[in-house]
Each structure stands twice: as structure tokens, then as C-alpha cells.
Amino acid sequence: MKFGGSSVADADKIRAAASRAIKTKKAGHNVVMVVSAMGDTTDNLVALADEVNRGKPAPKREMDQLLVTGEQVTISLMAMALEEMGQPAISFTAGQIGMITDDRHTKARLHTIDEKIIKRELAKGRIVIVAGFQGVTPSGDVTTLGRGGSNVTLVAVAAALKADVCENFTDVDGIYTADPRKVPNARKIDYISYDEMLELASLGANVLHNRAVEFAKKYNVPIHVRNSQNNNKGTMIVAETPSMERIVVSGAALKDKLARISLRHVPNIPGQAAGIFHTLASNDIVVDDIIQTIGENTATVSFTVDLGDFDDAKIVCDKLAKKLNCQVVYETDIAKVSVVGVGMRVHTGVAQKMFEALAKAKINIQNITTSEIKISCLIRRQQGAEALQLVHDAFNLGKKPQKKVKKTAR
């Protein structure tokens, strides 16, 4: 059972999470809890570090040494809450249960977990509480697992213990066909495959981080995303089953803070594009989608970046354009609307239906990118919300899928 920062934000919420764990334990299950730092703790620690560093980047090893304290506070308080309610419990930092990572501080990768200690404590009838988001190098330095790290911890512990299920408690009822804040008739999804979840997450559905889902897929650990405030059944993220293909589109997503950068009249020489993206990567700029069109002697290389990375990207691209003697065009009002579904593998006409829905509303599609189970369209940002609602409704996502579906429009 994993409880995120908002589910352990104060003493009452910690006690509520403890009660829930005790209920599960009393139903006959062994329980391991993975917890995040309380509420704004991590943000406050980062602010403190910024103050000490006068805005300069902090040494990463020391940043990790600082940040792991947030989760350590929560694990000990959670153990106290359980004990106070009469449930034997014990808390562990990553180091105490040998959650070994590499030494890439602030974004370390998990290598191994020594599950023996957890198993020993479970065998004593205890609830075991593990600090999320953290690891330890073989030489004893503490590390953090990057964004979404607590979910990586959750899935990794579950995999190591061969757990029946991971329960991921959040402040929403599960995964929705679209963000319910943007699409009022969005519907909770009961089952979704790992691959669909991976696509949705990378398209802006901000529930579960990709690395956790990849881990879950690799070890086939089912994740139950559910609300810590109620007992509703949430969304099960599971391995793909044949019946899932009956549903053509499972969800829609909008990423609305994008910028597009186009380098025009780039000399069409082999290795040129690789050189451009190598330069961007070495400046830590993450590129979203890439579209390259080739003319007679020159090419146009377009790509999107998060708006937050735009200023850095512009500096790099201005230099690049000068060096390559080409033209550069910046557009900062870009959004991306996408639909995802494993059913696309067997059903045709999905792209057409999406383009028609957007065309009817006079929404101009600037670029199209696709994968086996996803179609994305770049559009103007001011049309993003409307576009999301339109494609959501074009595929009837607001309605419960029928048990038996005929092959749909091609």
C-alpha cells in the first residue's frame, strides 16, 4: 500500500492511512506500506537548499542526503501511529533494507532489494513501512529515485515480495478517460493495460510515473490506483488481455504547455539531425516529438519541448542555427491532443475519426505523430481544451463500454 504526500500530510491523515492498513492486515493479508514525504515537506527542503545555495545548483549527493529525510519522518510517524493503535510495526529507510541503486544522485536506478528483512518482519506479524523515493549505493551514500520515485519503490518492493497487488492511494478515484478537471464527462477506467498507461502518462496524464509502470509491466505486478478518502474500487493497471482490444480507445490526453522549434534549410547531410539532437541532449533539454521533412538539398527539423525548457532550448538553438547557417522558427503556443488504446492494433479508422472531429470544429492540425496504440495531433494551445473534449466524445469515452462491441467505423 502506497500513500503519497497528500495522503500523509498531517497527523490525522497518517492515522487514517494507518487505520486502512490495519483493516487490510485484519482481513488476513501481509501489509507493506510505502510512504512519501508529508505534504509540502520536499518543496520546503528544496527551498531551504536554494536559500543556502543562493540559487546555484546544489551538489547532488548532498541534495539526496537532504531530501531523504522527508520520507524518513513519515515512516517513523506511521510506525508510531500503527503501534499506538495496537498494531506491531517497524519502519525502514532504504539503507536499512538494502535497496541498492547506482550512484546517479537525484535520479538513481534501483538494482536490488534485500527482501529477507521485510519478510522476517512480516513473519513476526508486523506491518512494515518502507521509505519511498530513496535508495542507497553499495558504498552507503543515499540516493533518490527522481520524479515518481515513491511509486518505483512501491512496485519494486511488491515485485521483490511477489505481492498479490500494489495499492496506490491517491486523491483521485483512479485513472480517467481524460483529466476530469478538463473533461467533465470523463469516466473512471476499470482496467487498463501497462502499455496504455505508459502512453497516457507520457502524454500528460499525471497519475503514475512511467518508470513505475515499466517496472510493474516487467515484473507483472498489478497496480490498483485508488482514492485514500473512500473505499471505491479504483483502476487496475494490469497486463494486456485479448478482451482489452475490444475497446478501441481507452483514454484521451492533452499536453498543453509545449513549444515547437523548427530549424529550416538545414543542409541535408547524413548525421546532421543526430548532431542537432546530441547538442540538445548534452544541454539537458528533453525533446518531446520530432518531425523531419526533407526537401531537395535541405531539410526542416521540427521538434517540441516542454514550455519550461523553452528558454534554455532557445539559447542552444540560436547557436545551432548560426553554426549550421540555417533559419530557426519558434512557436510557444503549442498543445498536443492524443488518444490511446490497444484496440487500435486491430481496428482501423481511428485516425480518420479523430481528424474529422477536429476538422468539424475548425481546429487546424499542425503535425501528427502515431505509435501502435496512440495518435497525437499538435494544435494551437488556445484550442487545446476544446480539442480534448471533442476527441473524448468522438470516441464515446464518457459512456461505459458495452460488453460486446461490434467492429467500429473504419
Question: Which residue from 63, 152, 261, 313 is in contact with a copy of itself, where contact means CB under 8 A?
Answer: 63
Select from 78-86, 283-291, 298-306, 326-334 the region that touches a copy of itself (CB under 8 A): 78-86
79 binds a copy of itself (CB under 8 A): yes
Question: Which residue from 28, 54, 284, 400 is in contact with a copy of itself, where contact means CB under 8 A?
Answer: 54
83 binds a copy of itself (CB under 8 A): yes
Question: Which residue from 33, 77, 201, 334 is in contact with a copy of itself, where contact means CB under 8 A?
Answer: 77
Question: Which residue from 26, 43, 62, 116 is in contact with a copy of itself, where contact means CB under 8 A?
Answer: 62
Element (H, E) at 241: none
- For residue 74, give the nearest of 116, 29, 37 by alpha carbon: 37
- Specify which residues 254 forms β-bridges with: 337
Question: Which residue from 9, 14, 113, 213 is in contact with a copy of itself, where contact means CB under 8 A?
Answer: 14
Q: What are the CA-CA distances from residue 137 to residues 143, 164, 358 (Å)?
A: 7, 29, 50
Distance CA 20, CA 59 (A): 39
Minimum CB separation from a copy of itself for residue 162, in Å?
Answer: 24
Grid cell in block for residue 74: 513519515
Q: Are 90 and 79 in contact (CB under 8 A)?
A: yes
91 binds a copy of itself (CB under 8 A): yes
Question: Which residue from 59, 125, 295, 308 is in contact with a copy of itself, where contact means CB under 8 A?
Answer: 59
| Residue span 140-179 as binding mask against a copy of itself, x where in contact by CB under 8 A, dash where not | xxx-------------------------------------
Q: Give whichever of 51 and 372 is closer to a copy of itself, judged by the CB atom.
A: 51
Question: Which residue from 69, 202, 366, 367 is in contact with a copy of itself, where contact means CB under 8 A?
Answer: 69
Select from 135-143, 225-233, 301-309, 370-378 the region that touches a copy of itself (CB under 8 A): 135-143
Q: Are 158 and 128 in contact (CB under 8 A)?
A: no
Query: In the chain, helix, strand, coil percent, each to 5?
Result: 40, 25, 35
Where in 33-52 is the site for a copy of itself (CB under 8 A)?
Answer: 45, 48-49, 51-52
95 binds a copy of itself (CB under 8 A): yes
Distance CA 65, CA 152 (A): 19
Q: Are 290 and 367 in contact (CB under 8 A)?
A: no
Q: Give whichever of 62 and 164 is closer to a copy of itself, judged by the CB atom.
A: 62
> Taking each helix axis from N to C terminus, what angle separates 310-324 and 272-282, rounded to the nearest 10 degrees?
140
56 binds a copy of itself (CB under 8 A): yes
Select from 11-19, 104-112, 217-225, 352-360 the region that touches a copy of itself (CB under 8 A): 11-19
Number of Cα atoms under 13 Å in the Cβ half of residue 237: 33
**Positions of E strands within 106-234:** 110-112, 127-131, 134-136, 142-144, 166-170, 191-193, 223-227
Cβ-Cβ contacts under 8 Å for 300 (sequence gap 6 or more): 262, 263, 264, 265, 266, 292, 293, 294
Minimum CB separation from a copy of itself for residue 85, in Å?
Answer: 10
Q: Which residues bind a copy of itself (CB under 8 A)?
A: 11, 14-15, 45, 48-49, 51-54, 56, 58-59, 61-63, 65-66, 68-69, 72-73, 75-77, 79-81, 83-84, 90-91, 93, 95-96, 140-142
